[in-house]
């Protein structure tokens, strides 16, 4: 019965949505301290290539590859973040934009390692490994009435879902902690925050590095879900796309990033004709949003209204 | 050989300097990084290709067409993306940056749809004329590019320091409110700034088309990034810095192509950004004050 419900196509779109949510969070976290990062595609690429190369050449388990990819991205985040974060957010935007392009240039030119613009193929796939592992402990997908490939897509989806929930939990917890309050005070007024004794460079680097970590993690997962990566996957367009997820959905609340990634990943799938003009629509969307609703679709006020209505309904 | 490379470097550097001028002008007056500038420049290049190649117009007419089209784009950019954000309460300083990114991907993908993805050749008989002195070959285009960039620099400096509009512009750059109290029509000045910056971008577009003989929708991004690197190197909002920074970047890229790995020439701009941010964040010609003022 489960076998009839599970559609691998839907599961795959679901997985893409989850990866995009991670990416959107990687922009949201630095943005919540007033830092605009345009390097998410670059960090994603570093995570993806690190993990893919480690697992292909050294036969490391995927888990270790993914962790290494995310750490490599965050190390790069620290290196780029410290010089640019001492200055205003504009410098960071330029430096990260440059970083993204340089990383892509390196991927294209470092032929011996990255196979240039052709890209890497034969990356171990997360779903297959899980299937083998499950078989190793004596579990067959047929036991719960689904086919092997359904199991593969389902397991990827579930792993990503758990990871996204953990990340969301972490970010929400952090927002209500001392670090989170420091970050939002920097976002509201840097000078005032500094005069209150907050080490703004330290906290900015923290939030920026977390963004790099999430982007690297998403990139590494992307590599092992798709099984094939090329420099074109990590271009400036990807960075802008991720930025739009967050800015469209709502850059002031975490649920905005989730909504933005969900809606804008699903839209081109549902409306096929849209996908050809996707970037043109994105461009217009950014301009209109900034002029009309710079905080994005969802903000704290709207959420409050929705909650208020719900609780009224609950009393009845 | 070396001399020829230096000439190539100066040509490239002059083009970069002109692109950087557009960024620096807008940043100096509005304090905004105009991310769409690279794409306006790209549109200028495509207008040049269409005018000379498809319509068969003479080169001077192509220049005028490019200037007109990019000026109109500059006006639209100011009217629809920058003006709605100005003076609005609670708008973060990142809003204009994000909004101009929107314009940049809109323009890039529009020209992608109209002109296709590949490189378009820029055919003018003009770009084939060359002078040979001893073993060195200099193309006439290179001399023209250098002269145009010098003229633009001098013209812009005189305009900014001597004319009434230029003084009003500097007053607006210094303090928008005070300037408007003293009777400067700041709204007009801001429009003028963006339009002039865009027109300069359009000129740069045609020059690049002539120098490299090819034009593509993607060139806006890489050229825009170089322009940004130059204004960080030379000092944000500094005209002299844009020229010197452009020449430094142009020469170092040409040297890398000649004596190193040409694949990594696009990386120089980025390395420059990081090194400058670490050592002298205000840029070579920037003052400490302008760095602290956001």
Q: Domain extents for chain B? A: 13-220
More reliable by pLDDT, A26 or B124:
A26
Closest CA to A248 of A22, A16, A28: A28
Instruction: Return d(Cα B51, Cα B43) in angstroms, integer.
Output: 12
User: Does residue A296 sit within a domain?
Assistant: no
pLDDT reading at A214 higher than 90: yes
The tokens describing A67, both together, are 């962790």
Q: In this structure, is residue A73 part of a structural domain?
A: yes
User: Which residue of chain A has the CA closest to B229?
Assistant: A94
pTM of the model: 0.84
**What span, in angstroms and rounded, lies between the C-alpha atoms of A247 and A84?**
22
Structure tokens at A290: 């900034």
The reply to whether residue A283 touches residue B81, judged by beta carbons under 8 angstroms, is no
pLDDT surpassing 80 at residue A314: no
Chain B residues whose beta carbon lies within 8 Å of the beta carbon of residue A240: 101, 105
Of A221-235, A287-301, B71-85, the one with minimum mean pLDDT is A287-301
Residue among A108, A282, A287 whose CB faces B99 most closely? A287
* pLDDT value of residue B89: 67
Closest CA in chain B for residue A280: B106
- Chain A residues within 8 A (CB-CB) of chain B? 31, 34, 36, 38, 80, 83-84, 86-91, 93-95, 97-99, 101-102, 105-106, 108-109, 236-237, 240, 243, 247, 277, 279-280, 282-287, 290-291, 294
Kindly tell me if the per-residue pLDDT of B95 is higher than 80: yes
pLDDT band, residue B27 (cuts 50/70/90): confident
What percent of chain B clears pLDDT 90, i.e. is strictly above it? Answer: 9
- ipTM exceeding 0.85, yes/no: no
Q: Which residue has the tokens 């190539």?
A: B8
**A311 pLDDT exceeds 70?**
no
Q: Which residue of A has its CA nearest to B36?
A: A283
Which candidate from B103, B109, B266 shows the least CB-CB separation from A279?
A: B109
Half-sphere CA count of B244, side-chain side, radius 13 A? 13
Q: pLDDT digit string (tens) for B251-270? A: 888 888 888 777 777 788 88
Residue of A nearest to B228 (CA): A94
Structure tokens at A109: 């030119």
The pLDDT tens digits for B138-159 are 788 888 888 888 888 888 888 8
Query: Using CA atoms, how far apart are residues B109 and B90, in angstroms rounded to an integer?
Result: 31
pLDDT of the residue at A212: 92
pLDDT band at B71 (very low <50, low <70, confident <90, very high): very high
In this complex, do A294 and B113 lie within 8 Å of one another by their Cβ atoms?
no
Beta-carbon separation of A90 and B103 below 8 A: no
For chain A, what percent of residues have pLDDT higher than 70?
95
Of A16, A39, A85, A65, the closest CA to residue A243 belongs to A39
A290 with B85: CB under 8 angstroms?
yes
Chain B residues whose beta carbon lies within 8 Å of the beta carbon of residue A95: 270, 273-274, 277
Cα angle, residue B123 at apex, residues B245 and B200 outer, rounded to 5°: 35
Structure tokens at A238: 């990807």
Q: What is the pLDDT of residue B292?
A: 40
Report CA Rg, chain B: 19
Contact A109 B106 (CB under 8 A): no
Domain containing residue A198: 2-234
**Residues of A with Cβ-Cβ distance to B274 under 8 angstroms:** 80, 83-84, 95, 98
CA distances B157 to A155, B152, B154, Å, are 64, 8, 5
- Cα separation, A152 vs A141, whole angstroms: 9
Domains contained in chain A, number: 1
User: Which letter, b or e, does each residue of A149-179 get, where b requires 16 or more Cβ atoms within 10 Å of its Cβ?
Assistant: ebbbbbbbbebbeebbeebbeebeebbeeeb
Q: Where are the alpha helices (DSSP H) in chain B?
A: 2-30, 37-49, 59-77, 95-115, 140-162, 164-174, 176-181, 186-212, 219-234, 239-259, 265-279, 288-292
CA B205/CA B70 separation, integer angstroms: 10
């Amino acid at each position: 019965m489960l076998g009839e419900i599970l559609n691998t196509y839907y599961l795959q779109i679901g997985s893409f949505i989850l990866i995009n949510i991670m990416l959107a969070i990687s922009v949201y976290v630095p943005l919540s301290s007033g830092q605009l990062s345009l390097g998410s595609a670059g960090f994603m690429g570093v995570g993806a290539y690190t993990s893919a190369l480690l697992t292909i050449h050294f036969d490391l388990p995927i888990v270790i590859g993914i962790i290494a990819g995310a750490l490599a991205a965050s190390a790069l985040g620290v290196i780029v973040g410290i010089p640019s974060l001492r200055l205003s957010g504009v410098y960071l935007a330029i430096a990260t934009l440059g970083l993204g392009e340089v990383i892509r240039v390196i991927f294209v030119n470092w032929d011996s390692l990255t196979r240039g613009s052709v890209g890497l193929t034969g990356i171990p796939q997360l779903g297959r490994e899980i299937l083998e592992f499950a078989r190793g402990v004596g579990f067959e997908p047929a036991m719960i009435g689904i086919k092997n490939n359904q199991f593969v897509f389902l397991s990827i989806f579930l792993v990503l879902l758990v990871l996204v929930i953990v990340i969301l939990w972490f970010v929400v917890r952090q927002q209500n902690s001392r670090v989170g309050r420091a970050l939002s005070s920097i976002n509201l007024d840097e000078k005032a925050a500094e005069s209150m004794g907050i080490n703004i460079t330290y906290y900015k680097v923290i939030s920026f590095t977390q963004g790099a970590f999430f982007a690297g993690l998403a990139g590494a997962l992307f590599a092992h879900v798709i099984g094939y990566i090329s420099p074109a996957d990590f271009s400036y367009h990807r960075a802008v796309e991720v930025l739009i997820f967050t800015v469209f959905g709502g850059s002031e609340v975490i649920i905005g990033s989730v909504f933005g990634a969900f809606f804008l990943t699903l839209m081109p799938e549902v409306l096929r004709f849209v996908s050809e003009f996707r970037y043109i629509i994105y461009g217009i969307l950014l301009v209109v949003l900034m002029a009309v609703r710079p905080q994005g679709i969802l903000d704290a006020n709207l959420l409050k209204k929705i909650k208020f209505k719900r609780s009224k309904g609950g009393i009845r | 050989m070396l001399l020829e490379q230096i000439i190539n470097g100066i040509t490239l550097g002059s083009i970069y300097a002109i692109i950087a001028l557009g960024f620096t002008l807008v940043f100096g007056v509005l304090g905004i990084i105009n991310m769409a500038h690279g794409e306006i420049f790209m549109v200028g290049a495509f207008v040049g290709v269409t005018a000379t190649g498809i319509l068969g117009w003479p080169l001077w007419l192509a220049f005028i067409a490019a200037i007109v089209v990019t000026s109109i784009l500059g006006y639209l950019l100011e009217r629809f993306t920058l003006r709605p954000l100005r003076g609005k309460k609670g708008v973060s300083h990142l809003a204009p940056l994000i909004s101009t990114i929107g314009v940049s991907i809109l323009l890039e993908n529009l020209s992608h749809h109209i002109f296709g993805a590949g490189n378009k050749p820029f055919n003018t008989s003009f770009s084939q004329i060359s002078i040979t002195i001893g073993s060195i070959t200099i193309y006439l285009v290179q001399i023209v590019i250098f002269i145009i960039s010098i003229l633009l620099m001098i013209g812009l400096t005189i305009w900014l320091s001597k004319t009434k509009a230029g003084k009003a512009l500097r007053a607006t750059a210094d303090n928008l409110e005070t300037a408007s109290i003293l009777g400067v029509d700041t709204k007009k000045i801001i429009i003028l700034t963006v339009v002039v910056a865009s027109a300069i971008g359009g000129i740069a577009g045609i020059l690049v088309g002539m120098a490299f003989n090819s034009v593509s929708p993607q060139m806006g991004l890489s050229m825009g990034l170089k322009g940004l690197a130059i204004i960080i190197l030379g000092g944000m909002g500094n005209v002299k810095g844009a020229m010197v920074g452009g020449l430094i970047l142009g020469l170092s890229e040409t040297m890398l192509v000649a004596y190193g790995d040409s694949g990594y020439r696009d990386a120089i701009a980025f390395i420059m950004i990081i090194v400058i941010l670490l050592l002298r964040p205000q840029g070579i010609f920037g003052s400490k004050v302008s760095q602290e003022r956001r």
